[in-house]
Structure formats: structure tokens, C-alpha cells
Amino acid sequence: MTLYLDSADVGEARLAAELGFVAGVTTNPAIMAKVCRPAEEVIADLCAILPGTIFHQVISAPGPNLEAEIERFRAISAQVAFKIPCTLEYLRVAYGLVQQGLIVAVTAVYSAAQAYLAAQAGAHYVLPYVNRATRLCGDGPALVAEIAGVLSGSSCEILAASIKSPTEAADTLLAGAEHLTVPWEVLSAMAEHPLTKLALDEFARSLEGG
């Protein structure tokens, strides 16, 4: 059960690294766009900050441009893994990368059938978009449960993304996800609860009274 930071923000990565238990970082084109820096520079910085796996999501279409993109990012660090969208053409690419010994995660998975094909391609992870699936399809954790059922017994694991709240994170784990990637604000919120604060306040008052 592994926790990743879903961010391209170097400052947030440093905060995550200070915690000690965040395994790595996942990125995607949308969050890369927010930092307004070349993706190669961002990935290199993230590799220097956290010792674990740093996921780069490819943006080129299958073909020579994608091959060149993969080689550029592969050259940055052995920490770099690749997020590959779930289409038939990209799954062929995923299979080839796995054969080369690279870590591959198939992303934007919205059905158990897609997850099954990703597993057949040898992907190490599938990334269902939980909150987005809830908004567009009705029940993101239910999708995770379906995928978990299909992948049972395989070596392909669920790395759930698009997590927008602590409750959604817990529901996703209960549905069968082995790993989560969450934004910094969600990670921070997961550590908080009003009753925890109440208990700490009560302890503090007891000490003052003593």
C-alpha cells in the first residue's frame, strides 16, 4: 500500500519528502501545465527530491515522436516511470516498454475491461480516475471495486487517481485500490479530524489544570 503525491509542484514535493513516507510523484499534462516549466526540468527536480518512482505521462502520439519522448525522459533517471493512456495503440506501446524493463502505469482507465487489457499488456499499475468517474459515470469507488475483481490474482495493481477528499481516499482503498496518488491539499486533510483536535485541546486543558 503506497502513497504518491499527485503534483508537479516542486515545493509540494519537498513537503512530501519531509514526511518520509510518500513514495514518489505522479504527474500529468494538466498539472504540468500549472507550473509553466519544461516537463524534463520538473521531472529531474522531482527525482532529486524524492527517492522513489516519479511518473511522467506521455503526451506524444504513438510513433517516432513518442519513442523520442520516452528516451528523453528515460535518460533523466532510473526513477522515471511512464503513464500511458488506455487505448489499443498505446497499450501496444505499454507492452513494448514493459519488455524493456520499464515501469508502466496505464492511465485514464474507466472500465474493468480496460484494466484487463492493461494487465494483459503487462502494466504494473492501472489508474482509474475516481472522482471524475463519480462525476461522469456515477460511482468512482464502485468502478475501483469492479477493476479489483477483474485484476484479482494478477500482478497488475490499482493506483487510484483523481482523489478529491479524505473520505473519497478511504472509500477507494476500501473498494480495493492498493495505492493512492493524491494532491497535497488532500494528503494534508487526510491527517486532520475535528475530534482529534478536540482531544488534543482536552489534553492541553488537563495539563494546564494539573
Active site residues: 83
In this structure, what C-alpha cell is assigned to residue 150?
477483474
Q: Bridge partners of 100?
A: none
**What's the rounded Cα separation, in Å, for the pair 190 and 184?**
10
Name the residue among 163, 105, 175, 170 with its Cα closest to residue 134: 163
Q: Count CB-CB contacts under 10 A for residue 3.
A: 17
Q: What angle is formed at CA 103 by the lines to CA 99 and CA 109, rounded to 5 degrees?
A: 105
Helix axes 39-49, 10-19, angle to 10 degrees: 20
Give 68's contacts (C-beta < 8 A, 6+ positions apart). Answer: 60
